Amino acid sequence: MKIKVNDLRQPPVLREMVKLFSSEELLALNEVIESITLERMEEEARSEHEKMVKQEVIAHVKEQLQSAGLEPKDLIAFMASSPRALKQQSLR
């Protein structure tokens, strides 16, 4: 039986292929699928956690800047006048 990759996307063909597996092969395949699924879920949870941490850090920095009386326009002006920024402007 010659099977093409696109054929596997068709439910009837996929069902017939699965029937050819032994129960041990199906268990092994199931373990692989579960581990991939768990890895993906953990990766998404980590990503979501990292995003939350970044948002908390940004919020904290904004609070600190506001309590110090700094406005965004002041920071932009400061960054534009920093030695590194001045050097980059002179290179243009």
Q: Each residue of 22-63: pLDDT tens digit?
A: 788 888 888 888 888 888 889 999 999 999 999 999 899 888
Domains of the chain by residue range: 6-91
Q: Mean pLDDT over all residues of the chain? A: 79
Token pair belonging to 90: 């002179």
Identify the band that residue 86 occupies on the pLDDT scale cut at 50, 70 and 90.
low
Note the maximum CA span of the chain: 75
pTM tops 0.85? no
pLDDT attached to residue 23: 80
pLDDT attached to residue 62: 85
- What single letter denotes the amino acid at residue 89? Q
Task: Compute the half-sphere exposure of residue 40: CA atoms within 13 Å on the CB side of its CA.
Answer: 6
